[in-house]
Structures are given as structure tokens and as C-alpha cells.
Amino acid sequence: MVSEKLIEFLNKAIAAELQVSIQYMWQHIQVTSLEGAVVEGIFRKIAIAEMKHAERLAERLDYLDGVPTTEPDPIFVGGSLVEMLKQDEQNEEEAINLYKQAIQQAAKEGDYTTRRLLEDILAEEEEHINTFGKLLVGITEPFTQPGISNVQ
């Protein structure tokens, strides 16, 4: 079977997924302002994606005879929309780093199914950070989007 280290990686990932699934869903509830009206559906959609990640990781951990944690990492809600997006971007970056390390560990142990699962999730986290990053630029620098200045 797999090492304690890999089990630990999976549980760390579950705690982070539980955190962001709650965090993004609550941001969806709490966000205000005109921009917020546009963004709230995106928070909701990503929150649901994160809950699915937690589920898939917990299923895999159970198969590997681990016990999936029920404890989320600390949840950040409230603040302005820009503060929310900066926090979310940071959480996605942390998730990307964690998945990259966990993928290496799974590969080292020859656990290719776990590796594939982690790679699938990693690709989605990269989409999330891209989405949050674009929203941040759109809100903080709406008139300096790349390419716009070159349009004749």
C-alpha cells in the first residue's frame, strides 16, 4: 500500500478543498456591488467544483485505507471583492504547490491512479487561479487589459 506521507498529502488536500468550497460559497452569498453581481455566480460554480475535489480525494483516501479529515483549513470570508479575490488567488496558488508535491510523491510510490486524480485536480486549480487573476485585473485595472491599447 502507499506511504503515510502520501496519505498525509491527501488529507492536507482534503482540508484545503473543504476550506475553499466553504469560502467561495460564502463569498458567493456575501459579495455586494455591481461587480459582485457579475462575480457571484463564478464563486458558486468554483465552490461546487472544490467540493467535488474533496469528494474524489476522500474516496481515494478511503480506498487506500486512510481516514478522510472533516476539518477544513481556516476559512477567509468578508472584506471587499478585491480582498476576496486576492485571498482566493493565494489559496489556489497554495493548492497548486501542494498538488505538484503530492503528484511527485504518488509517482515515486508507483501509485499512478492517485497521480492521475491529482493531475486532473491540478489542471482545474490552474483554471481557477486564471479566472480569479483575470477578475482581479478586470476590477483593479479595467482600462489596461493586454492588447487593448494596440487596437487601432
Residue whose CB is less far from Fe ion, 96 or 107: 96
In angstroms, what is the minimal distance from the CB of 49 to Fe ion?
Answer: 7
Fill in the per-residue mask, 72 to 111: x = in contact with Fe ion (CB under 5 A), - = not in contact.
----------------------------------------
Identify whether the C-beta of residue 76 lies closer than 8 Å to the C-beta of residue 87.
yes
Which positions from 19 through 38 interact with Fe ion, judged by CB under 5 A? none
Number of shown-chain residues binding Fe ion (CB under 5 A):
5
Stretch of residues binding Fe ion (CB under 5 A), selected from 11-19, 29-37, 100-108, 135-143: 11-19
Residue whose CB is less far from Fe ion, 31 or 146: 31
In angstroms, what is the minimal distance from the CB of 101 to Fe ion?
Answer: 15
Q: Is 128 in the site for Fe ion (CB under 5 A)?
A: yes
The binder of Fe ion chosen from 27, 39, 53, 58 (CB under 5 A): 53
122-130 contact pairs (CB < 8 A, 24+): 122/96, 124/49, 124/53, 125/92, 125/95, 125/96, 125/99, 126/96, 128/46, 128/49, 128/88, 128/92, 129/89, 129/92, 129/93, 129/96
106-110 contact pairs (CB < 8 A, 24+): 106/2, 106/6, 106/9, 109/2, 109/3, 109/6
Residue whose CB is less far from Fe ion, 44 or 147: 44
Sign of torsion over alpha carbons 33, 37, 38, 41: positive
Binding site for Fe ion (CB under 5 A): 17, 50, 53, 125, 128
